[in-house]
Amino acid sequence: MSALLIIDDDPEITSALSRGLALHGYETDAENRADRALSRLQTGVYDGAIVDVMLGADSGIDLVRMARASGVSMPILMLSALSDVEHRAAGLEAGADDYVVKPFNFDELVARLRVQEHRSAQHRPLPPLLVRRTRELKNDCASVTLTEREFALLDLLARHSGTPLSRGAIFDTLWAAEGSSNENVVDVYIGYLRKKLKNYNFHFEIKTLRNQGFILEGPAPQISEL
């Protein structure tokens, strides 16, 4: 679990967590608003999250519930000064994997993170292979052959997994050199890829982000030259 998102509206807590976790080999980002935090959790770039129960006027419990409903599967650990059974139960029922009460022992917090890291690794699906020589996308259960342009598009998205690529950026990379002037070709080939892959469980998804472009979420295909 190398990359964590800390979601807390207390800058002192956020700073202390970031410094302490860095000493244990974690990279951290911080967010103090539930709406922005949900969008960041959905990018798939984080290996786990630490969420405070109280986020100003927002509820960390509601945030966790919405994240799980939208398909976020990473380990989530909740922090709170609220120690009663009802709040702990609410956090766990919303989808948190663990609940730690403030003030907490930092060594215990890291140990709990390690436990969730181990559990997540045991259930994490292996990423599919994108084989350049045969233009195949495959895993243990399925194999799909792509056209040359479909392969190039998926290859580009996979290499930028978790980062939105604008329509213009994709067009400039894959089509501009041919003299084509219509960026709509990007949408056409995104549609081709989605249709070809929709009946197979490769554990990733190509999503459209309004005003941002397209993003590959989930385990990105590993590129193989063989």
pLDDT tens digits along 34-90: 888 998 888 778 889 999 988 877 889 999 999 988 878 889 999 988 878 888 899
**Stretch 139-153: mean pLDDT:** 92
pLDDT band at 197; cut points 50, 70, 90: very high
Over 70: is that where the pLDDT of 122 sits? no
Q: Is the pLDDT of residue 195 over 90?
A: yes
Distance separating the N- and C-terminal Cα atoms of the chain: 30
CB 60 within 8 A of CB 54: yes
Judge whether residue 1 has pLDDT over 60: no
Strand pairing of 76-80 and 54-55?
unpaired
Please state whether beta strands 48-52 and 76-80 pair in parallel, antiparallel, or not at all (unpaired).
Answer: parallel
User: What is the predicted pLDDT for the residue at 70?
Assistant: 82
Contact 6, 31 (CB under 8 A): yes
Tell me the pLDDT band of 165, cut-offs 50, 70 and 90. very high
Q: Do residues 120 and 109 lie in contact, with contact meaning Cβ atoms separated by under 8 Å?
A: no
pLDDT in the model for residue 162: 81
pLDDT in tens, 14-25: 999 999 999 998
Average pLDDT across the chain, whole number: 88
Report the distance separating Cα 118 and Cα 39, nearest Å.
25
The predicted structure's pLDDT at residue 15: 93
CB 211 within 8 A of CB 192: no
